[in-house]
């Protein structure tokens, strides 16, 4: 009897088909229509499902982390402490490093950085700046809008100066120096002083909540296991009779 043989396809057709399948699968994980910058900015300050849904999601993720309550709460405390520092863009990295140093849960630390959100950040910024300027003896105070304007000016000047150094052009550091002495250093000092007691309070506030949730979840899992075990015993008894 003659064996059936499959027709051989050229290598180019096989590669083309694999690329097409990969493209189809990749579309599943991408948006069909790309979001505009304005839409992304709006959803940053107000998520699509609202802040209530976003907060409940973060709390749900924190409660279901597979770790001890102590390590989870240490991670939350590290993340909330980092939120008081003017190290924008480095909060995730610094929170992970602190959680690793203090033997906390790194994922909880990343979620804990959401303590600094568009609602609480203006309060944190103004409070830290007021305290830092008072300790350093700087005259006057700055509003939150002025802080953001100074940050934007310093960032644009830093970017332009870096390009100027590469291209050999003249650079000017006046606005950056003003930002460091008038905003960054006072913010860093005041944020560190405010962040330490706030993170300690966050630890002791979250610890009983995580403990209670994990005990309740363990009890539910135990009840389900016992119910399944009892059902299995009934089936075995019925089969014997």
Tokens coding 55? 């907060």
Task: Tell me 183's DSSP state.
Answer: I
Candidates 155, 81, 169; CA nearest to 124 is 81
Q: What is the pLDDT of residues 58-95, one digit of tens each?
A: 556 655 667 788 999 999 999 999 999 988 888 999 99
Residues in contact with 138: Cβ distance below 8 Å, sequence separation at least 6, in sequence order: 132, 182, 186
Q: What is the pLDDT of residues 23-71, one digit of tens each?
A: 444 444 455 566 564 555 455 445 565 555 555 555 566 556 677 889 9
Q: What is the pLDDT of residues 177-219, one digit of tens each?
A: 778 888 889 999 999 999 999 999 999 998 998 888 888 877 8
In this prediction the pTM is 0.65
The domain segmentation of the chain, as residue ranges, is 44-240
Give the phi and the psi of residue 25 in degrees, each rounded to 5: -70, -35
- Dist. CA 98–CA 110, nearest whole Å: 11
């Amino acid at each position: 009897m003659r064996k059936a043989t499959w027709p051989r396809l050229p290598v180019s057709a096989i590669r083309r088909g694999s690329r097409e399948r990969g493209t189809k699968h990749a579309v599943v994980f991408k948006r069909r229509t790309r979001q505009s910058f304005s839409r992304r900015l709006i959803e940053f300050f107000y998520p699509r499902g609202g802040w209530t849904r976003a907060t409940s999601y973060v709390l749900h993720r924190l409660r279901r982390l597979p770790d001890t309550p102590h390590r989870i709460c240490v991670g939350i405390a590290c993340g909330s402490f980092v939120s008081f520092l003017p190290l924008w863009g480095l909060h995730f990295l610094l929170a992970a490093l602190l959680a690793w140093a203090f033997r906390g849960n790194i994922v909880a630390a990343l979620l804990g950085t959401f303590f600094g959100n568009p609602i609480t950040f203006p309060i944190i910024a103004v409070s830290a700046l007021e305290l830092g300027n008072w300790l350093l003896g700087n005259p006057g105070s700055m509003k939150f809008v002025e802080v953001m304007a100074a940050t934007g000016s310093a960032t644009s000047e830093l970017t332009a100066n870096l390009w100027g150094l590469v291209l050999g052009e003249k650079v000017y550091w006046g606005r950056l120096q003003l930002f460091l002495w008038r905003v960054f250093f006072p913010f860093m000092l005041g944020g560190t002083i405010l962040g330490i007691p706030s993170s300690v309070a966050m630890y002791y506030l979250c610890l009983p909540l995580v403990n209670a949730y994990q005990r309740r979840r363990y009890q539910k899992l135990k009840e389900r296991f016992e119910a399944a075990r009892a059902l299995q015993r009934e089936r075995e008894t019925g089969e014997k009779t």
